[in-house]
Structure 1
Amino acid sequence: MGEHRHYRHFVLAVITFGGMLNITDRLILSIMLEDIKRAFSLSDTEIGLITGFAFTVFYVVCGLPIAWLADRMSRPLIIAVSIASWSLMTALCGAATGFWTFFLARMGVGIGESGSGPAGTSLLTQTFKGHELGRAMGIYFLGPTLGTAAGLILGGVLAHAVGWRMTFFLLGVPGMLFALFVFFTIKEPGGRPIPPKVSLAEGLAAWLVGIRALCANRVFMAGSMAFGCMIVTGYGFATWLAAIMLRGFHVTTADVGFYLGLAFVLGGIPGPLLGGYLTDWLVRRDARWRAWLPAIATLACLPLYLAALLSTNFWTFLGLFSCGYLVFLVAQAPTVSLIQLAVRPDERAMAMAVAMIFNNLIGQALGLFLIGLASTSLTPTFGPQALTWALIGVSTAFAIPAVVFYLLAASGLERGPLKMMNGPDSSQA
């Protein structure tokens, strides 16, 4: 059954939908930032801590041990438990009474979401062959894209209709039901070696050996650092753009949610698919395109984003942002396929967890905090435009090292199609 073509596509669809819920629950906060900021009298710096640091702390702490388990036990079980956990904590965000209770609830969301990504990408990498992986990852990244749009549209409509507290509850409950669906319909693929039972001390020792091996992997480390720096732009715009629209245009929260969600869909659906198909086409000629393509996309999206932010016309703003977002998302599929194919099959969940540490520490915790801090600092000079300049300035500052790391990763790849320095399993390459 696991080898059946339709079942493989079913697994991809379920994992993709799980990624959609993941990002919906993670970024639903962005459309309600202004309401929550007023409710608790928060500064942009405090908002940056809630949206970034609070989520990331336990995401990082729990991500590695959960990923280690995902390389050794049922990945569908880990995915199901993760979805149920973050959905419950999303619902509890609506019960927050101030900065610290909201901070703790967002920590809980981070704990739940730390397990699904590594287990899901590891499962997909085993399910699809190497020459199909770019396209599979391109489809997988439709989940976060649609999740961003769904979070904005549903968040805007629900927050306007029932308030931000009830919105968190209404978006958290369906995830717990979907977790049961995952548990009963997705199975662990056959042919996976069963690791021997070990003691806690032996397991910890093996875990540390695995971490050291990944840290010594040049291609993997460069790709992970590039991923973390590149994604600053993605998290920054997904989190702060609604606030910029509310401050810069005369629109309601519901309008912002709908139109911004529409812009994310218009740019977000073709972007990952284009990146995936381009990757599979280009690496047949030279495997280094797994690093070159995202480097190009990371830089090419910035002029479009800047033009959008400086636009005073609402529709021009949306159109330019959609184009920039499309270009930005071209980088996602080749980046993740680069990271996954740079390691052994039994390292893939752990590898994704380590990569997501860079993704969240740099892209979410540090990036969102620096944007909020820069906005607070620039407000006396630039007023309502302070957040705009903070967003584009921090994004540009991280895009440059992202390109450098992508080039370092490319230098560790051999010339020719699908040849990786660390030689992943031949069945996947």
Structure 2
Amino acid sequence: MNSNTGPATGGVYRYYVLIMLMLTFMFNITDRLVMSILIEDIKAEFLLSDTQIGLLAGTAFTVFYLLLGIPAGRLADRTNRKTMVAIAVSLWSIMAALCGAAVGFWTLFLARLGVGVGEAGGAPPSVSIITDYFAPHELSRAMGIFTAGAVLGPVLGYSAGGYLAAEYGWRWAFIVLGLPGVLLGIILYLTVKEPVRGRFFPADASAAGVAKQEPFRTAMLSLWRNSVLARVITANAFANVPAFAFAIWLAPILMRKFEITQGEAGLYLGAVLFIGGVPGMIFGGFLADHLAKRTPKWRPWYCALALGLTLPFWASCLLADSLQWTLGLYIVGYILLVSTQGAAYSMMQAAVKPTERGTASAIGSLLANLLGYAIGPALIGVMSDGWADQYGAMSLSYAVMVTAVISLTVSVALFWWTSQAMADTPSGLALEQ
């Protein structure tokens, strides 16, 4: 199939495309994380342990996501990307709604598997499309706007999910928040134009335009040997481990520790994430682009600095004795962490050829979800259950804190290491010898 239905359109239209893809990413995260605010209800109805909740919240979602991630990325590099996004968002939205029909652990587990199947096909074509609508010097800010969906998703999931669960039950929260994604998929398919691949990289545009793709083994070896890509993907994956941990477990921590209601937890977390996350994502992208004018190495340097500052705020918030201090410390750390995402995504995309972008994005998502969703939540649940007798209600907080401290420390070191693989050139992508 020819993946190019027409030339990319500039001006205001490209921002329309960006907003549509950001909304797709928002529902991606909403359908993935709405379960966080519903954990206590589901746990009580099905008599589950924290370990089982960790499996449902993280591992179930990622099983097929991990299996299908790279094939989805390869498909995004050779087929019509906007059609792929439209199909993906419709599929995962239907499966998210079906979570509301679960009758026990295994039926909910299977529905969560289905959510992962759909979401595996969402991000790779989306970031590839954006890279062909925005020039390299403005890519960090564009990716910052796109990844703002990762903030708006939890905001919608926490606030609307908490309200719907309190008023109508947790099942309706899944249904009401899942189905709108189907409508979004239809609108995206009808209104978004497929851009020309590699339009900002003329040397590769001709081959990319006919969807010429290297054999799988050749492409994977090329990506493996790409020092910038390998390092930034690994660094960003470790940065996302605590982000996912807080996204899944902070609501039940607040409800257990401060005895607030489900609706209150959703309202507080939704407000905190919206106030801090959206400006953090967008401002971080603009700041990274500005600093990179001096040297491209500022992109990984900025990520390392921001994540290093995140660590004390997030460790402290889990030990705070008041709800106000917990939320206040959390929001500062959250702003710092999410401000790195625009720079990280832009480095991943700019480091590879146009015909490798979907695959590179899929590998990045695969590793982030392997560590952050498949392993992290279940491991935290195991630690919480194991420490419950000794630490009581604080066992979950300690489990999240240990995970955050270790993963953020590793991420800071890896982002600094990424800068060592970047040459001091306009693109910053030529490897230093």
What range is the shorter-chain TM-score in? over 0.9
Please give the alpha-carbon distance, in whole angstroms, between the structure 1 residues aligned to 2:262 and 2:364.
34
Is 2:52 the counterpart of 1:46? yes
1:137 to 124, 139, 143: 143
Query: Does structure 1 retain, via aligned residues, the 8 Å contact 2:8–2:132?
Result: no
Correspondence for 1:427 = none
Correspondence for 2:40 = 34
Matched letter for residue 271 of structure 1? G
Query: Does structure 1 retain, via aligned residues, the 8 Å contact 2:423–2:431?
Result: no
Please give the alpha-carbon distance, in whole angstroms, between the structure 1 residues aligned to 2:211 and 2:294.
40
Query: Does structure 1 retain, via aligned residues, the 8 Å contact 2:166–2:263?
Result: yes
Matched letter for residue 302 of structure 2? L
**Which string of whole-angstrom CA distances, capped at 9 and with x for unpartnered residues, describes residues 295-323 of structure 1?**
11222112111222222222222222111
Q: Which runs of 5+ in 2 are unaligned?
A: 1-6, 200-204
Correspondence for 2:63 = 57
C-alpha distance 196-125 of structure 1, shift in aligned 2 (>3 A): closer
Please give the alpha-carbon distance, in whole angstroms, between the structure 1 residues aligned to 2:50 and 2:118.
26
Segment drifting more, 30-39 vs 94-103: 94-103
Q: Percent identity?
A: 39
Helix, strand or coil at the partner of 1:120: helix
Helix, strand or coil at the partner of 1:127: coil
Segment drifting more, 304-313 vs 126-135: 304-313
Correspondence for 1:166 = 172
Query: Does structure 2 retain, via aligned residues, the 8 Å contact 1:342–1:422?
Result: no
Question: After the TM superposition, which residues 2-401 of structure 1 pair with which residues of structure 2 at under 5 Å, given as runs?
Answer: 2-190=8-196, 193-195=208-210, 206-401=215-410
Helix, strand or coil at the partner of 1:115: coil
**Which string of whole-angstrom CA distances, capped at 9 and with x for unpartnered residues, describes residues 300-351 of structure 1?**
1121112222222222222221111111111111111111111111111110
Q: With structure 1 as the length reference, what TM-score do the two structures score?
A: 0.94
Matched letter for residue 105 of structure 1? A
- Give the CA deviation at 1:19: 0.8
Q: CA RMSD in A?
A: 1.6
Helix, strand or coil at the partner of 2:365: helix
**Which string of whole-angstrom CA distances, capped at 9 and with x for unpartnered residues, describes residues 54-101 of structure 1?**
111100111111111111111000000000010000011111111111
**Which string of whole-angstrom CA distances, capped at 9 and with x for unpartnered residues, describes residues 120-169 of structure 1?**
00100111001100111111111110111110000000000110111111
Matched letter for residue 220 of structure 2? I
Please give the alpha-carbon distance, in whole angstroms, between the structure 2 residues aligned to 1:278 and 1:65.
34
Please give the alpha-carbon distance, in whole angstroms, between the structure 2 residues aligned to 1:107 and 1:208.
28
Please give the alpha-carbon distance, in whole angstroms, between the structure 1 residues aligned to 2:319 and 2:177.
33
Correspondence for 1:426 = none
- Give the CA deviation at 1:194: 4.0
Please give the alpha-carbon distance, in whole angstroms, between the structure 1 residues aligned to 2:376 and 2:303.
19
**Which string of whole-angstrom CA distances, capped at 9 and with x for unpartnered residues, describes residues 387-425 of structure 1?**
1111011111111221222122111101244321269xx
Q: With structure 2 as the length reference, what TM-score do the two structures score?
A: 0.93
Please give the alpha-carbon distance, in whole angstroms, between the structure 1 residues aligned to 2:425 and 2:215.
34
Number of residue pairs aligned between Structure 1 and Structure 2:
417
Matched letter for residue 34 of structure 2? I
Q: Which runs of 5+ in 1 are unaligned?
A: 198-202, 424-429
